[in-house]
């Protein structure tokens, strides 16, 4: 007998109130990854957002963008390029700094990982303020790539990351209204 009630991706997300501070509901992606059906549904749902998109390269941002970007790149038979924190890549890199809530950070990618004219999709688990992905997009564009889409599993609309990324085609599987 088949299961008549299919689970939605939201059913796999563990929500933890008052973490990391009071008033915040933390949306835990590990509960999706720890369930084979949840992980498959997440990857399939994110990949579905790429139907009809002309893409040459999938870029995953550290670290959960690697987790979701890898199976999507594999399924689409596209290369996977990693965007890492500064100092983690062994070859010549380009870097981009960006602001955090308290301070700043720097990300890098290999200088030869994107060729001029390549169409790029950036994949990550979560869009919050949009800072990391905006910095990744600047790196890609600096190398001559064209960012054709940004794909996220979850979006925290209250942090207004979509507004920061308004010049891009942004899509998320799940959108939570709060922070």
Tens digit of pLDDT for each residue in 30-70?
A: 999 999 999 999 999 999 999 999 999 999 999 999 999 99
Pick from 130, 132, 77, 144: nearest CA to 108 = 132
Which helix H or strand E contains 154, and what residues bound it?
A: strand 146-156
Q: Is 84 a catalytic residue?
A: no
Rounded CA gap, 12 and 118, in Å? 35
Q: What is the pTM of this model?
A: 0.93
pLDDT score for 28: 93
To the nearest whole percent, how much of the chain has pLDDT over 90?
85
pLDDT of res. 1: 39
The end-to-end CA distance of the chain, in Å, is: 40
Mean pLDDT over all residues of the chain? 94
Q: Give the active site residue among 2, 22, 92, 101.
A: 101
Domain ranges of the chain: 51-174
User: Could you tell me if 29 and 125 are in contact, meaning their C-beta atoms sit under 8 angstroms apart?
Assistant: yes
Give the pLDDT confidence score for residue 5 in this predicted structure.
Answer: 62
Across 133-151, average pLDDT: 98
Q: Of these residues, 64, 95, 146, 162, which one is catalytic?
A: 64
64 is catalytic: yes
What average pLDDT does the segment 117-132 reach?
Answer: 96
CATH topology of domain 51-174: Rossmann fold (3.40.50)
Instruction: Tell me the pLDDT tens digit for each residue of 80-104.
Output: 999 999 999 999 999 999 987 778 9
Q: Do 94 and 111 meet the contact criterion of CB atoms below 8 Å apart?
A: yes
Query: pLDDT at position 96, please?
Result: 97
């Amino acid at each position: 007998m088949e299961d008549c009630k299919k689970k939605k991706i939201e059913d796999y997300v563990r929500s933890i109130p008052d973490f990391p501070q009071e008033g915040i509901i933390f949306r835990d992606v590990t509960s999706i990854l720890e369930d084979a059906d949840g992980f498959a549904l997440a990857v399939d749902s994110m990949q579905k957002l790429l139907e009809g998109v002309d893409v040459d390269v999938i870029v995953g941002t550290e670290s959960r963008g690697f987790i979701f970007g890898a199976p999507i790149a594999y399924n689409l038979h596209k290369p996977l390029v990693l965007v890492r924190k500064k100092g983690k890549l062994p070859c010549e890199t380009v870097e981009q700094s960006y602001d955090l809530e308290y301070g700043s950070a720097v990300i890098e990618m290999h200088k030869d990982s994107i060729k001029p004219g390549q169409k790029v999709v950036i994949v990550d688990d979560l869009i919050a303020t949009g800072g990391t992905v905006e910095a990744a997009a600047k790196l890609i564009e600096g190398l001559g790539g064209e960012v054709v889409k940004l794909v996220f599993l979850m979006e925290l609309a209250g942090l207004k990351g979509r507004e920061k990324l308004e010049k891009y085609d942004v899509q998320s599987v799940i959108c939570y209204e709060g922070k």
